[in-house]
Amino acid sequence: MLTHDQDAFRRADRPHRIVSGALHYFRVHPDLWEDRLRRLRALGANTVDTYVPWNFHETAPGKADFTGWRDLGRFLRTAQSLGLDAVVRPGPYICAEWDFGGLPARLLAVDGLQLRCSDPRFQAEVDGWFDLVVPELLPLLAGRGGPVVAVQIENEYGSYGNDSRYRAHIEQALTERGVDCLLFTADGPEDAMLQGGTVPGRLATATFGARPAERLKVLRRYQQTGPLAAMEFWIGWFDHWGEDHHVRAVEEAAASLDELLATGASVNLYMAHGGTNFGFWAGANHTGSRPGEAGYEPTVTSYDYDAPIGEAGELTPKFHAFREVIGKYVPLPDAPLPEPLPRIIPALAVPAGTVPLLAALDRLGGPPVLRAAPESMERLGQSHGLIHYRTTVTGPRPAMPVRIDGLGDRAYVFADGVPLGVLDRNAPDEGLDLAVAEDGVVLDVLVRAQGRVNYGPLLDDRKGIWRGVRHGHQHLFEWEIRPLPLTDLTGLTGPTGLTAPAYAPHDASEDPTRDARPSAAHGAGHGHQTTPSTLAIPATPATPAFHRFTHEPAHAPADGFVDVSDWGTGLVWLNGFLLGHYDTPRGPQRTLYAPGPLWRTGGNEIIVLELERPGTRLPLQDQPDLGRPTVVTLQ
């Protein structure tokens, strides 16, 4: 058991210092968990820290999956077998640059629901989550022979709110379900944050990246006795699309870590190994103060974080510098450092066909639903992917702008199938001029959703269209809407095409009709017949399309990187597994990490959904390109 007295932690009733590293199982292929945990132990850590994202595990309200990629128990038992304790942070909110901070998207479909407070409806949802996750944790608690020595109460709550009844409810919900290990809170070292986030009688810890003595002094005002701990000591930073790749100078970060450990405090390195935001799981930030304002900043696919252990397991210069510092304060393992994992031999993937997305709508989802006005993804039971809206605009009428009110996040607009232009949520006042002839026009709007906001006051970040569409001043009604979660691409190539991998992440709130056979109706009021299509039909340039490539390696499966620098913006699948988003013109990231366990010896299939600027080449590389680095200085 982990306890503490007036001065320090105690483990097995002996003085103990926590030297922990954050490593998220949900950002690492499960076949690589042991490798990454070995590297963490080699760094000198005696503890691993992980969040548990509610939306990653939930398959339906009241149901959760803890198998395969989601096998939390396997991850924690592997850590224990390597001599690591574990700190677990089960939310309900985790932030973590993860979609919606780990909350299920379906909560955004409930009118008036207030997030992260003592709204009885939200607390009932939290209780339902704890009913699912706590039984998974109980046999893993240290008091029962497991590795889990501490569990967090919520996460940096003081950065969001100040509801003391809510904080008490979270504490009680954990203890009533049997969590009897050390409970703690973690907040920024500012008065308002610590006032809003701490729980009386529970250990308070701090999150920061620099000036440790100053930060711990603030924490001590609220944690007057007991051990001091930096539960998140930020040793790098994450990236948004449109920025440079953030790095933190090795010497400066190591010196700051040394200064922190010299105070006698415990530490959790955030991140020791960042991993990858596979699938649609990358979150976002927002610099605005009100919904609908510009300032949306989606997070990139890589979560390398400039960590000591790189995205593909590299032992970086920061690893060696940190290991030297850590060795001054705790014993280092005697074992040799882990060897690098094998990498693929660079090659070009072979083109194998293309299909325009609009021609394949009936193969990608179920039949459209009819609504008077556009509705958000969440209203239609969809969490991630694309969503398609179609209506008819009567004519004749002169050119007037088409505008979208409440867009999440980027819309591709077509008039009778011809691209009209692109609208983005960060330019909410922009429109696309559309003149309509006497016969009228079919208006298609394809909306791409990126990450939901995971931090700050604008968490209720809906996707799709959640207000309406106007032509001039006239609201457009009578819409066909088709959710496109893109969880199954087998319809593009037939039953022998793409197959789901063993650990493919699911969408927690898929449209239940997505496997139903589609209607032949293709246009509201026009009745166009859909055109059968396969991955062999050429796509019109600048029209969203799926591009298929193949690759037959001449060696055993190994880590690689898909080079998207010749492409515009979209998504990439390897053997049916969604590697993530890319946005080359904005940068910084120009390659997507493809872990060795995803590759096949006898041949591989890569699907690129390009939305704006199709490329011609798809190189496979043995090194990442995360973009131009810029040094970040943490305060």
Would the pLDDT of 531 be above 70? no
Residue 131 lies in a domain: yes
63 and 144, same structural domain?
Answer: yes
Query: Are 290 and 407 in the same domain?
Result: no
The angle that helices 250-262 and 212-222 make with each other, rounded to 10 degrees, is 40
Domain assignment of residue 508, yes or no: no
Catalytic residues: 156, 232
DSSP 212-225: HHHHHHHHHHHS-S
- The yes-or-no verdict on residue 496 having pLDDT over 70 is no
Look at residues 456, 471, 488 and tell me which one is the last residue of a structural domain.
Answer: 488
Rounded CA-CA distance 100/460 in Å is: 8
- The pLDDT confidence band at residue 540, using thresholds 50, 70 and 90, is very low
Counting residues of the chain whose pLDDT is more than 70, the rounded percentage is 92
Angstrom distance (rounded) from CA 419 to CA 446:
11
- The pLDDT value recorded for residue 519 is 28
Let me know: does 610 contact 617? Beta carbons within 8 Å: no
Residue 512 domain flag: no
pLDDT of residue 495: 37
- 238-252, 527-541, 573-587, 611-625: range with lowest mean pLDDT: 527-541
Would residue 278 count as lying in a domain?
Answer: yes
pLDDT one-digit tens code per residue, 297-314: 999 999 999 999 999 999
State the total domains in the chain: 3
Is the distance from CB of 86 to CB of 79 less than 8 angstroms? yes
- Residue 399 and residue 439 in contact, taking contact as beta carbons nearer than 8 Å: no
Looking at the domain assignment, is residue 331 inside a domain?
Answer: no
Degrees, nearest 5: CA angle 18-24-28: 135
Examine the fold and report which residue of 445, 472, 488 is the final residue of a domain before the chain moves on. 488
Assess whether pLDDT exceeds 90 at residue 472.
Answer: yes
Tell me if residue 253 falls in helix, strand or coil.
helix
Residues 363 and 269 in one domain: no
Residues 471 and 614 in one domain: no
Mean of the pLDDT values across residues 353-357? 94
Pair 365, 322 in one domain: no
- Is pLDDT above 80 for 111? yes
Which of 473, 488, 503 lies at the terminal end of a domain, its last residue? 488
| Model pTM above 0.85 | yes
The answer on pLDDT for 509 being more than 80 is: no
**513, pLDDT greater than 90:** no
pLDDT above 90 coverage of the chain, percent: 88
User: Per-residue pLDDT tens for 270-293?
Assistant: 999 999 999 999 999 999 888 888
Burial 470-489 (b: 16+ CB within 10 A, else e): bbeeeebeebbbbbbbbbbb
pLDDT at 532 over 60: no
What CATH number is given to the structural domain containing 275? 3.20.20.80
Indicate if 473 and 413 belong to the same structural domain.
yes
CATH number for 419:
2.60.120.260
Give the lowest-confidence range in 176-190, 205-219, 355-369. Answer: 355-369
Residue 196 lies in a domain: yes
Q: Does 84 share its domain with 182?
A: yes
Quote the pLDDT of residue 289: 84
Statement to judge: residues 234 and 141 lie in one domain: yes
pLDDT of residue 635: 77
**What is the average pLDDT across 400-408?**
97
- pLDDT confidence of 491, banded at 50, 70, 90? confident
- The reply to whether 559 falls in a domain is yes
* Contact residues for 462 (Cβ-Cβ < 8 A; gap 6+): 108, 376, 377, 378, 406, 408
pLDDT in tens, 24-65: 999 999 999 999 999 999 999 999 999 999 999 999 999 999
119 lies in the same domain as 46: yes
Is residue 542 very low, low, confident or very high in pLDDT (cuts 50, 70, 90)? Answer: low
Same domain for 389 and 437, yes or no, is: yes
Residue 503 counted as domain residue: no
pLDDT score of 523: 31
One domain, residues 38 and 164: yes
For residue 497, the model assigns a pLDDT of 33
Range of the structural domain that residue 54 is part of:
2-326
With beta carbons less than 8 A apart as the criterion, state whether 612 and 619 touch. Answer: no
Give the tens place of pLDDT for each residue, 420-437. 999 999 999 999 999 999
Rg (CA), the chain: 25
**Domain match, 395 and 311 both:** no
136 confidence band (pLDDT: 50, 70, 90)? very high
